[in-house]
């Protein structure tokens, strides 16, 4: 694979299949970062961010040399905080390897740069986490939580742009490898999903404000944050639903036409429109719905059953349990699912942009 570099670079660089290694490796990173967000979320849910007072070491030990007995069987807070650091370090190492992969096998300069950006981001993210500990600063903990989601989005971006799907969209690529639909998403649709992505990140910021609320914050401010968070959630759901419906409606439209008898063969072949776009859109709607459900559950787990919902004895007897494990999974699950909403909208947006770019009529014709 490395010999791609020695070959003359073709005019349309997108046409060259990127090395599969970088793509597989970036999938691995994505699969590590999501658990990392879970563990980091648990650190906040349990308020365990200061369970290890020093950084980058752990109680004077080098991060990797801290006795595993104390880590695994010591205090729970130390278990998650140190575990978060170890997993973070693992992701850091994986990012270094990704850069190596990129420079060996990736012909596109901008993708190589992206891998470097991912590496810089993970280093910055680690440093931010360290600053949070060293300065014992809760606001930095919040910033660290918000930048984690940006990092996750970057990793997913790397994954998408190195995928087979991505380069198969190129006009010069051998189309037989992947069935490429001729459906070209409109600029409006791209803008719509762009708004969903922006709102999804706004939700991350709002949620982080609620989770990392300062002891001196005003009750009025908190209340408004909650209302904004809820209202935005339903806005995201409706916009995502519109996007999914638009992507879906092409297929429905075709089916309608095929029912009318014309273009039957094509309709059968493309019965579901472009699945590579409609599926992520459906997934997005699913994740947003799940996220709203988890959000309500998180409220209840933290602040009890709202009075209007106390309509029967089991609802009215709901007891908030501090530090309960099942509840902590709901609360952290809300954070982790929020990250999924964010990266799924990023994933969809990237694919839409790519499809829009590569399926221009003049290209498709050629």
Partner 1 sequence: MDSYFRIAGSLVGPAAIFAILAVAGCDAPPGSFNANDLYAQVVATRQNSQPGQAAADVSMVMESLFGTPDAPKLPNAIPTNLVDPENLTRAAGPVYSDEDDTHFGIYRSRCVVCHALDGSGAGPAAALQNPYPRDLRAGVFKYKSTPRGEKPTKEDLLAILKRGAPGSAMPAFDRLPQEDLDALVDYVIYLSIRGEVERRLIQFAVTEMGYGDQDGAAIDSERLILDAEGKLTDPELRQTVSQIIENVAGQWSDPTPITVPPMPDFEGDDLVAAIERGRELFHGQQANCASCHGTNGNGQAVTLDFDDWTKEFTTLLGISPGDKAAVKQMRKLGALPPRPISPRNLSWGVYRGGDDPETLYRRLVAGIAGTPMPGLLVQEGEGSTGVTLDQVWDLIAYLRSLGDLQLAGTSR
> For residues 224-283, which are near partner 1 according to CB under 8 A?
226
* Nearest-approach distance from CB 205 to partner 1, in angstroms: 7
Q: CA angle 342-344-345, nearest 5°?
A: 70
Nearer to partner 1, 209 or 278 (CB): 209
Are 222 and 241 within 8 A, CB to CB? no
Q: Collect all residues with Cβ–Cβ distance below 8 Å to 221 and sequence separation of at least 6.
A: none
Give me the residues paired with residue 58 across strands.
61
The site map against partner 1 for 123-162 (x = CB under 8 A) is ------------xxxxxx-xx--xx--x------x---x-
* Nearest-approach distance from CB 299 to ligand HEC, in angstroms: 10
Binding partner selected for residue 110 from partner 1, ligand HEC, none, CB under the kind-specific 5 to 8 Å limit: partner 1
Are 201 and 342 within 8 A, CB to CB? yes
* Nearest-approach distance from CB 338 to ligand HEC, in angstroms: 21
Q: Which stretch binds partner 1 (CB under 8 A): 95-103, 171-179, 257-265, 301-309?
A: 301-309
* Nearest-approach distance from CB 304 to ligand HEC, in angstroms: 7
Are 216 and 139 within 8 A, CB to CB? no
Is residue 214 near partner 1 by the rule CB under 8 A? yes
* Nearest-approach distance from CB 251 to partner 1, in angstroms: 27
Is residue 318 near partner 1 by the rule CB under 8 A? yes
Query: Got the DSSP string for 211-229?
Result: HT--TT--HHHHHHHHHHH
Closest listed residue to residue 192, CA positions, set 244, 231, 156, 252? 244
Is residue 110 near partner 1 by the rule CB under 8 A? yes
Query: b or e along 15-54 (b: 16 or more beta carbons within 10 Å of the residue's beta carbon)?
Result: ebbbbebbbebbbbbbebbbebbbbbbbbbbbebbebbee
* Nearest-approach distance from CB 260 to partner 1, in angstroms: 39
From the list 76, 110, 227, 303, which residue makes contact with ligand HEC (rule: CB under 6 A)? 303
- Asked if the bond preceding 56 is cis, omega within 30° of 0, the reply is yes
Is residue 223 near ligand HEC by the rule CB under 6 A? no
CA 249 to CA 182: how far, in whole Å? 15
> In whole angstroms, how large is the CA radius of gyration of the chain?
23
> For residues 35-74, which are near partner 1 according to CB under 8 A?
47-51, 53, 59, 70, 74
The residues binding partner 1 (CB under 8 A) are: 47-51, 53, 59, 70, 74-78, 109-110, 113-114, 117, 135-140, 142-143, 146-147, 150, 157, 161, 198, 201, 205, 213-223, 226, 302-307, 310, 312-313, 316-324, 353-354, 357
């Amino acid at each position: 694979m490395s010999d791609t570099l020695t070959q003359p670079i073709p005019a349309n660089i997108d046409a060259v299949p990127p090395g599969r290694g970088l793509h597989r490796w970036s999938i691995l990173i994505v699969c590590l970062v999501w658990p990392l967000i879970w563990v980091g979320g648990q650190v906040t849910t349990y308020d365990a961010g200061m369970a290890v007072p020093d950084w980058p070491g752990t109680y004077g030990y080098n991060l990797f040399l801290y006795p595993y007995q104390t880590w695994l069987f010591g205090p729970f807070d130390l278990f998650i905080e140190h575990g978060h650091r170890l997993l973070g370090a693992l992701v850091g190492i994986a990012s270094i390897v990704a850069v190596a992969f990129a420079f060996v096998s990736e012909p596109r300069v901008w993708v190589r740069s992206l891998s470097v950006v991912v590496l810089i981001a993970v280093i910055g993210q680690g440093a931010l986490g360290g600053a949070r500990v060293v300065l014992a600063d809760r606001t930095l903990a919040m910033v660290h939580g918000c930048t984690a989601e940006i990092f996750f989005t970057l990793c997913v971006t790397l994954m998408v742009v190195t995928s087979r799907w991505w380069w198969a969209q190129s006009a010069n690529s051998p189309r037989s490898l992947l069935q490429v639909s001729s459906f070209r998403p409109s600029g409006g649709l791209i803008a719509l999903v762009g708004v969903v992505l922006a709102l999804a990140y706004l939700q991350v910021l709002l949620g982080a404000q609620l989770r990392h609320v300062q002891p001196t914050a005003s009750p009025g401010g908190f209340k408004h944050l909650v209302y904004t968070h809820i209202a935005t959630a339903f806005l995201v759901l409706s916009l995502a639903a519109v996007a999914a419906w638009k992507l879906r409606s092409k297929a429905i439209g075709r089916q309608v036409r095929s029912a009318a008898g014309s273009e039957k063969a094509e309709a059968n072949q493309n019965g579901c429109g472009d699945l590579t776009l409609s599926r992520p859109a459906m997934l997005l709607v699913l994740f947003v719905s799940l996220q709203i459900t988890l959000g309500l559950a998180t409220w209840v787990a933290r602040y009890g059953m709202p009075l209007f919902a106390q309509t029967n004895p089991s609802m009215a007897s709901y007891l908030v349990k501090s530090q309960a494990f099942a509840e902590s999974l709901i609360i952290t699950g809300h954070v982790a699912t929020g990250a999924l909403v964010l990266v799924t909208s990023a994933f969809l947006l990237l694919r839409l942009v790519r499809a829009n770019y590569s399926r221009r009529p003049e290209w498709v014709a050629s």
